[in-house]
Amino acid sequence: MYQALYRQYRPKTFDEVLGQEHITTTLKNQIANGNIGHAYLFSGTKGTGKTSTAKIFARAVNCLSPINGNPCNECEICKGILDESIMDVIEMDAASNNSVDDIRELRDKVVYPPSRARYKIYIIDEVHMLSKGAFNALLKTLEEPPKHLIFILATTESERLPQTILSRCQRFDFKRIINKDIVANMEKICDELSIPVEGRALSLIARNSDGAMRDALSLLDQCISYKDGDLTYEDALDILGIANTELLFSMVRDIREKELEKALLKIDEIVQNGKDIHQFIKDLIYHFRNLLITKTTNNSRDIMDMDEETIQMYLEQSNDMSLDYILKALDILTKSESQAKWATQPRIILEMATIKLVNLEEQISLEDRIKKLEQIINSGEIKIGEPVATNVVQEQKKKVKKKKDLEKPKEIKTVPILDDGKELSLQIIKKLLN
């Protein structure tokens, strides 16, 4: 019977767990020194090795001949746990066993000692799914379990666990696995299976696994089943529904040159070819993210996992973009991705986002003008010029006043007349005038 790759190649020792050395080293030292806790919490994103590490730990603490803290996987206890013939390691799914009654039943069973192993171990997966009552029922047992009992709680959402549970566990946070380690592991698996595969195809799969080894192996499994022979980059593009790099560069070029019709025709082509709209929006977000990295860093190769030629293409395209433009474009696309998840017509969401991106520069220009105006108003240094109309009115008033002054009759002095009625002589008149 065929087994999925992620099950066939599940790590069997701590040394085989990828990208979690900070956790596996601690656990190996605890086992080697006999300093084993009674409750552990493994938290982290999906596919990073939480359950695999829990199973390795369960074998290691019970192994008859451990090797530097690792299980030997050869003794009867290790083999019994691997083939599930020993029932002292119990896996429980909290998503389907989340009631108070389920935890009470568990609490009644844990008092019984293990049948063959040294420790009885309960691995509770997705523990955040337990109800409030179930958590309360688990508290006392988790705090003071029997000496033969170890709890390992695994969760992707540790923030949903009550503090009372967190405080009773040793917590280990699993990191996303870096693309380099994912690619190396897939190359090793392909070599063992004698499957020729192109390196670019593995890099593409790794980028789309979001740091989860399980997701990467599931995608690899899907690609291997596509056809016999070499697995190429183009095959991976077709299977995963991912837009190729050339299409993304061309799409962004059309947006920058305001060729809206060309950009919308490319969206139509994507839909007609059966590509996933949601995936294409993610690809655009990743493309602008790469533009952001090349715009803001000097050593983008250390951050971007791609060849030098592609990095140079990103560098050239980012040269005529402002940092503000890239950030606003990412904001538009991120909101569009969120909206497209619930939309019945995600194509319309993508087309709306494209139109917004085409008009983004005008919007930024308008925002800059408004911002400058606000700064002037807030500074209080507003220079208001005197209106032209006021100047004209005042000039007219001056002209009218001058005209009136000219037309005003001169004041005539009255000539006094002597009391005796005699006429004034010329000398008297001159004296009066002077």
Q: pLDDT of 97-117, one tens digit each?
A: 888 888 888 888 888 889 889
Of 357, 343, 335, the C-alpha closest to 266 is 357
Average pLDDT over residues 355-377: 78
pLDDT of 273 reads 82
Give the pLDDT score at 416: 55
> With contact defined as beta carbons under 8 Å apart, do 134 and 98 qualify?
yes
Q: Is the pLDDT of residue 319 over 50?
A: yes
Q: What percent of the chain has pLDDT over 70?
A: 85
Per-residue pLDDT band at 41 (split at 50, 70, 90)? very high
Looking at per-residue confidence, does 345 or 226 come out higher?
A: 345
- pLDDT band of 424, cuts 50, 70, 90: low
Least confident interval from 14-28, 174-188, 360-374: 360-374
Range scoring the smallest mean pLDDT among 23-32, 97-106, 211-220: 97-106
The reported pLDDT for the residue numbered 375 is 72
Residue 381: pLDDT above 80? no
- Of the CA atoms within 13 Å of residue 352, those in its CB half-sphere come to 14
CB 89 within 8 A of CB 60: no
Higher-confidence residue of 387 and 148: namely: 148
Least confident of 38-42, 93-97, 229-233, 394-398: 394-398
Give the Cα separation of 212 and 220 in Å (integer): 12
Confidence band for 387, pLDDT divided at 50, 70 and 90: low
For position 247, what pLDDT does the model report? 87
Give the H/E segment covering residue 382. none
With contact defined as beta carbons under 8 Å apart, do 46 and 177 qualify? no
- 271 has a pLDDT exceeding 80: yes
The reported pLDDT for the residue numbered 235 is 85
Confidence of residue 17 (pLDDT cuts 50, 70, 90): very high
Q: Which residue has the tokens 């990295």?
A: 293
132-143 and 100-109 helices, crossing angle to 10°: 20
Rounded average pLDDT over 278-302: 88
Average pLDDT along the chain: 84
Give the per-residue pLDDT at 414. 54
Give the residue-averaged pLDDT of 280-292. Answer: 92
Query: 222 near 239, Cβ under 8 Å?
Result: yes
